[in-house]
Amino acid sequence: MTAAKEFYFVIIGHEDQPIFEMDFSSSDKKKKESESRHLNQFIAHAALDVVDECALINNTMHLKQIDKFNEWNVSAFVTMGRIRFLMLHTQRCDEGIRQFFQEMYETYIKYSMNPFYTIGSAIKSPAFEQKALIYGRKYLV
Amino acid sequence: MSKTTKTGSLVDAKKMSAELFTLTYGAFVTQMLKDYEDPQVVTAKLDKIGFDMGTVLADDFLAKSANVPRCQDCKQIAEVLSKLAIPNYLGVPATVSNWSSGDREFSLIIESNPLTELVEIPDHLKATLNYSQVIAGAIRGALEALHFKVYAVAVENASNTEIRIKLDSILKDSLPAGEDY
């Protein structure tokens, strides 16, 4: 039996604050969300230093897999505006994550052009969440 | 600033990027929200700005489209607004619908309103702020310059912008444009 595919996606702003978080899982979604989110946040936070280091030496925005903690792999994407996208995943899925990051990057750019949104504040838009969910289903789970 | 943009889109040589226009208007509205703190005041101000634009645009519009006949009733007003005026100045078409109160009230539906492109109005402002009220104000101003007194309100729907227009009265001929009774 293969382990369940699990993903935790977070967008992180300039002051290391989370802007947007979402879980994706191939098994029951709601249950997982409350169980392991604090651990996910911890792993993501721990990976930030590595992300920053990688971002300095790499010219590409997509940094691929950069860190590992127990069963969680960490992939990262740093936008031109230094907004960091992190993805924690239990199974390798490079191509899907790359496409997901790309789509989310576009969605994020569009959303940040909204005059009612200030850069770095938490994203609370249901439309944005919906899009993340759709792309998550399409490319990840 | 949005005034120059709108007239600019009429003259082909001076077209500007739709994105720049949207962002400019967005920054303008959000700054007003910060300054006045009351969304209702902002709506009123947008209406006033639109009104001032409209009184000027009416002349400009009639000078450029010489074969527009004098409108006799609301149906004709709606027709000219949706088929000529709005496409001319906003660059997108509008459709007429929802006639009521004996053909004195109608809605102009703008499907892809350039002002609201990329804009997501937060829930707590939805009830009090009419984001595109500047368009409604411009229509009110333009019609008032032509001696039709109307009420115009811009309502944001999920996928389009609805401008509700109600004809109140036809003003006396001698009254100068832009002044109330």
Q: Which of B19, B23, B122 sits opposite A116 (nearest CB)?
A: B122
User: In the CATH scheme, what is the code of domain A6-139?
Assistant: 3.30.450.70
For the entire predicted model, the pTM comes to 0.77
How far is it, in rounded angstroms, from Cα B108 to Cα B175?
Answer: 27
B6-174: which CATH number, 3.30.429.10, 3.40.50.720, 1.10.8.50, 3.30.1380.20? 3.30.1380.20
Tokens of B134: 């500047």
Average pLDDT, 10 consecutive residues per value, chain B (181 residues): 45 72 92 92 94 91 82 85 88 88 88 88 88 93 90 89 89 64 51
Residue B118: predicted pLDDT:
84
Q: Which chain A positions have a beta carbon within 8 Å of B121's beta carbon?
A: 116
Q: With an 8 Å Cβ cutoff, are A113 and B122 in contact?
A: no
CB contact under 8 A, A114 and B29: no
Determine whether the interchain pair B120/A113 forms a contact, defined as Cβ–Cβ distance below 8 Å.
no
Please report the pLDDT score of residue B4 as a whole number.
45
User: Residue B46: what pLDDT?
Assistant: 94
Token readout for A41 is: 């946040």
- CB neighbour class for B161 (10 Å; exposed up to 12, middle 13-18, buried from 19): buried
Question: How far, in Å, CA of B86 to CA of B57, rounded?
Answer: 11
Residue of chain A whose alpha carbon sits nearest to that of B158: A127
pLDDT of residue B8: 45
Backbone angles phi, psi at A54, to 5 degrees: -65, -40
> Mean pLDDT, chain B, as a whole number?
84
3-state DSSP of chain A = CCCCCEEEEEEECCCCCEEEEEEEECCCHHHHHHHHHHHHHHHHHHHHHHHHHHHHHCCCCEEEEEEEECCEEEEEEECCCCCEEEEEECCCCHHHHHHHHHHHHHHHHHHHCCCCCCCCCCCCCHHHHHHHHHHHHHHCC
How is chain B split into domains, by residue range? 6-174
Say which of A111, A115, A117 has its CB closest to residue B29: A115
Closest CA in chain B for residue A117: B120
CB contact under 8 A, A110 and B26: no
**Closest approach of A112 to chain B, Cα-based (Å):** 9
Interface probe for B, chosen from A108, A109, A116 (most Cβ of B below 10 Å), is A116
Could you report the average pLDDT of every consecutive run of 10 residues in chain A (141 residues)? 76 92 74 71 90 87 84 90 90 88 93 90 90 89 78
pLDDT for the residue numbered B25: 93
Contact A116 B27 (CB under 8 A): no
> Which pLDDT tens digit goes with each residue over A60-71?
888 888 888 888
CB of A112 less than 8 A from some CB of B: no
> Is the Cβ pair A116, B19 closer than 8 Å?
no
Distance between CA atoms of residues B91 and B85, nearest Å: 10
Residue B1's pLDDT is 40
